Amino acid sequence: MPELKGSPKLGEYLRCLRSGYGYSLRKVEEKARQQGGEIDNSQLSRYEKGVCYPSFDKLRTLARIFNVSVQTFSDVVDLEELEKNQPEGNDARELLREGNREWQLGDYGRAYVSFQKAIRILDEGQDLLDEETTRLVAKARLGSAIILYMMRKISMSEYEIRQLLRMESRLDDETKVRALLQLSNVHASFGDYMLAEMEARHSLDLAKKSEDETLIAFAHHALGRIFQDSGRPDEALEYWHQALEAYRKLGNAKEALKVKRSLGLLYADRGQFREGIRLLQDARAEARKLGHRWTVASAGACLAEVYYKKGSFQKARTFIRESNAIASNGEVQYVDILFLNAFYLWRIAQAEGNRAEAKIVFGRLKYLRPNMEQTLPEVREFDHFMEKGGAR
């Protein structure tokens, strides 16, 4: 059987992983044998050059060697598809501005492609970047990392951050703080809350030393999320409110709405149903006016979750439909939101005794699950159900 045509982006990623570990081609060959696989050095060289594509078994072996998930390799190939739609122009500064505009509008696919093209232009043919070029590359890598995280390609977000932190000695304080906060977000998504909290607190210390109110707000935001996800609601409330107050003073409506959404869910979980619903409805309505697609879809998903827990299944269904329509529209789908909506629709179908619908939605959950890297409670519950035999 002929080998599949290769992926230059996957090849570049494999090469970066190998060099990051300090492995030669032959060392990877040895590691593969230790893992019970067979990848000779000439074969790996072809993968890295993008000449041919590894089989699933070989990808699985490489994933074990480099301590990444097989899904990460799939994400790399997905991103390569996105990059086929290149923005016009070769001015790196304008590409950065375009990336930021698309980011603000919630068009993450276009934002990512703009940032990546800027990186390629700035890096091209330069062994050592001057100060200004380093600054621009850092902005583009940080932007890419945040966008990848929003697209829930979390391992790829971590990869971009680690590439950025290799330039740590040449980074300004703002970039260092934001990079550390992004790394904290990544580790929180993987459930490494102790490590995430350490990184967020270190970021907060650096932000306070710089007396930058925006960075302090970002750090409070990160800590609020960590405490909420790790089951410490009182501490989460304290940091969420500090972040919300700061964002309002700074005029940062987008981040303020994200905090409002999180507070709404937290209040509802604490039994303050009316206040939770009010905050979620406000965040959803304001985000719609501003064109913030992710926040509209996410607030809708949160409303569906709250109404499901209250037993108001019809209202939950309404919000799921509206949230799904937004989350699935556009170049990049919000897979995490689609998974959550499918999970609660599955639970509703089960509660109503609708076996046919439950079976259909269960199939959707199985389809979406491989794309989820986050350790959400719903993901853990679904995985536990599958480990016990699933729908057999």
Contact 63, 10 (CB under 8 A): no
Rounded alpha-carbon distances, angstroms, from residue 10 to 54, 163, 388? 10, 16, 35
- Per-residue pLDDT averaged across 187-200, rounded? 92
- Per-residue pLDDT averaged across 99-106, rounded? 83
How far apart, in whole angstroms, are the C-alpha atoms of residue 26 and residue 142? Answer: 33
Predicted local confidence at residue 376, as pLDDT: 81
Alpha helices (runs of H) in the chain, residue ranges in sequence order: 8-21, 25-34, 41-48, 56-66, 70-82, 92-105, 108-123, 131-150, 154-165, 173-189, 193-210, 213-229, 233-250, 253-269, 273-290, 293-309, 313-327, 335-351, 355-368, 377-387
1 has pLDDT over 50: no
Contact 230, 242 (CB under 8 A): no
Predicted local confidence at residue 126, as pLDDT: 57
- Per-residue pLDDT averaged across 35-50, rounded? 85
Residue type at position 293: R
Average pLDDT of the residues of the chain: 88
- Of 27-31, 247-251, 307-311, 356-360, the poorest mean pLDDT is in 27-31
- Per-residue pLDDT averaged across 216-227, rounded? 95
Rounded alpha-carbon distances, angstroms, from residue 216 to 165, 184, 223, 247, 294? 20, 14, 11, 10, 23
Contact 154, 374 (CB under 8 A): yes
Q: Which of 114, 109, 125, 126 is nearest to 90 (CA)?
A: 114
For the chain, list the domains and their CATH numbers: 8-67 (1.10.260.40)
Share of the chain above pLDDT 70, in %: 96
pLDDT band of 390, cuts 50, 70, 90: low
Tens of pLDDT, residue by residue over 266-316, are 999 999 999 999 999 999 999 999 888 889 999 999 999 999 999 999 999
Coil, helix or strand for 52? strand
Predicted local confidence at residue 392, as pLDDT: 53
Which residues sit opposite 330 in a β-bridge?
Answer: none
* 389: exposed, middle or buried (Cβ count in 10 Å: 0-12, 13-18, 19+): exposed
- Of 26-30, 233-237, 279-283, 349-353, the poorest mean pLDDT is in 26-30
Share of the chain above pLDDT 90, in %: 46
Place of tokens 């046919």: 356
Residue 5 DSSP symbol = B
Predicted local confidence at residue 2, as pLDDT: 42
291 dihedral zone (left: phi>0; alpha: psi -120 to 50; beta): left
Tens of pLDDT, residue by residue over 115-139, are 989 988 887 755 566 788 888 889 9
199 has pLDDT over 90: yes
How far apart, in whole angstroms, are the C-alpha atoms of residue 218 and residue 109? Answer: 23
